[in-house]
Amino acid sequence: MRRKSIALLVAVLCGLAAFAQSGRSLADPLRMESGGNEASPVRNLIYLIGDGMGLSQVSMLSVESDYQPTAFDRAQNVAMVVTRSANNRVTDSAAAGTALATGYKTNNGMVGVRPDSSAVVSIMERAVGLGRPAGIVVTSMLQHATPAAFYAHVPYRHDYRQVSEQLVESGLTVAFGGGYSYVEGMCVKRLQEQGYTVLDREEQLDTLSHTPVMGFFAEEHLPSKQEGRGDFLPEATRTALELLAREADRRDAGFVLMVEGSQIDMEGHANDAQGVLAETADFEQSVAVAMDFADSHPGTLVVVTADHETGGLSLPSCDSDFEQAESGVEPRFGTEGHTATFVPVFLYGAGAERINGLMDNTRLAELLMEALGVAEE
């Protein structure tokens, strides 16, 4: 297993070296173009993924707030994404995360590799390879499938020890989430030897002022919102953005941040409608933080999407009398698993006008790589 992992890392490093030799400049204006017209330049990418969040989950948030405006309503453009994996019409987070991160399809259960187990390079790895700061903020373990797809390459998603080894060598500027049980000991020591500050308590975020930093705030996943997680996700997102922006200014480069609302999916698997609502609302607050950041930092593109939908959530009326103006809805689930439902993409900020329509999740990744100037030539 270790020999195969080394081979995967060599393949990734070769890919990054070839890309770096392409001559692309860090200061090159990053523009998304369509039909010969120039769009807004893109310097920073904030990529927010609601794990398990389909249109029904977004709709439920709006309905249950009596249609009060949400961050999703601020979107300047909307698209739809097909989520299938290489070997199944219903994807899992490993395959979908890989598609969204790298632009390549893979089989369910595989992270950062093709179906033949050959490594593929993610948008975050490309950015890091060009000297740009990058970060991840999640409410799951940092080694979980979706975040892992942005830095790791393993044929088996549950190989958390190997994923942790690759996290240590990822070059990320900022990483906040859970998963301490898989890094305690030698991994923490190696991070510290590389100059990382390693956190294990959320309150340490309040006084954090320098990078690189990794925070592991739970042995595995963080508590759910209903279990008292509080405002960790939006606050950690805000802290990560401040740190990345400062480091990006120092390097005179843009940055990439991936934020995952990890536990929308977990509550969907449990068919807990109130849990899904709480996690979606928490994620929406993080989307608002990202959009506010884009307002004050020109050149920032905010992309909000999902890896897949979980639970087959529907919102039927709880009253058979459809003529009553105040008839409510009664959330219902059709499965305890994932579905093949297309998922939304909400776009805001620089270049938002250039992504629209129905596309495969791999195409979305390709467009974002083009936006950042890190696509293969």
How much is the average pLDDT of 63-92?
A: 97
Q: What per-residue confidence (pLDDT) applies to 106?
A: 99
How much is the average pLDDT of 139-143?
A: 99
pLDDT bucket at 11, cuts 50 / 70 / 90? low
265 is in an annotated binding site: yes
227 is in an annotated binding site: no
308 is in an annotated binding site: yes
Q: Is the pLDDT of residue 14 over 60?
A: no
Percentage of the chain lying above the pLDDT 70 cut: 87
269 is in an annotated binding site: yes
Q: Is the pLDDT of residue 15 over 60?
A: no
Hey, which bits of 102-173 come out as E strands?
134-141
310 is in an annotated binding site: no
Percentage of the chain lying above the pLDDT 90 cut: 84
Is 290 in contact with 34 (CB distance < 8 Å)?
Answer: no
153 is in an annotated binding site: no
Q: Pick 375 or 223 by higher pLDDT.
A: 223
Cα separation, 95 vs 145, in Å, equals: 8
CB-CB neighbours of 253 under 10 Å: 17
Q: Is the pLDDT of residue 79 over 50?
A: yes
Is 50 in contact with 306 (CB distance < 8 Å)?
Answer: yes
3-state secondary structure of 334: coil
Catalytic residues: 93
**What domains appear along the chain, each with residue ranges and CATH number?**
2-7+44-312+335-372 (3.40.720.10)
Is 289 in contact with 234 (CB distance < 8 Å)?
Answer: yes
Q: What per-residue confidence (pLDDT) applies to 155?
A: 98
Task: Give every CB contact of residue 278 below 8 A, 6+ residues apart in sequence.
Answer: 224, 225, 226, 267
Please write the tens of the pLDDT for every residue from 283-341: 999 999 999 999 999 999 999 999 999 999 999 987 655 555 555 789 999 999 999 99
φ/ψ of 339, rounded to 5, equals -130, 170
End-to-end CA distance of the chain: 32
Q: In what helix (H) or strand (E) does residue 275 lie, and over which residues does it extend?
A: helix 273-296
Is 142 in contact with 175 (CB distance < 8 Å)?
Answer: yes
Task: Give every CB contact of residue 65 below 8 A, 6+ residues apart in sequence.
Answer: none
Residue 260's beta-bridge partner residues? 49, 138
Is 122 in contact with 101 (CB distance < 8 Å)?
Answer: yes
Residue type, 307: D
User: pTM for the whole thing?
Assistant: 0.90
pLDDT bucket at 18, cuts 50 / 70 / 90? very low
**Worst-scoring range by mean pLDDT, 185-189, 238-242, 324-328?**
324-328
146 is in an annotated binding site: yes
3-state percent helix, strand, coil for the chain, nearest multiple of 5: 40, 20, 40
Residue type, 71: A
CA distances from 212 to 180, 256, 322 (A): 17, 14, 56
3-state secondary structure of 232: helix
pLDDT bucket at 36, cuts 50 / 70 / 90? very low
- Both tokens assigned to 166: 């690759």
116 is in an annotated binding site: no
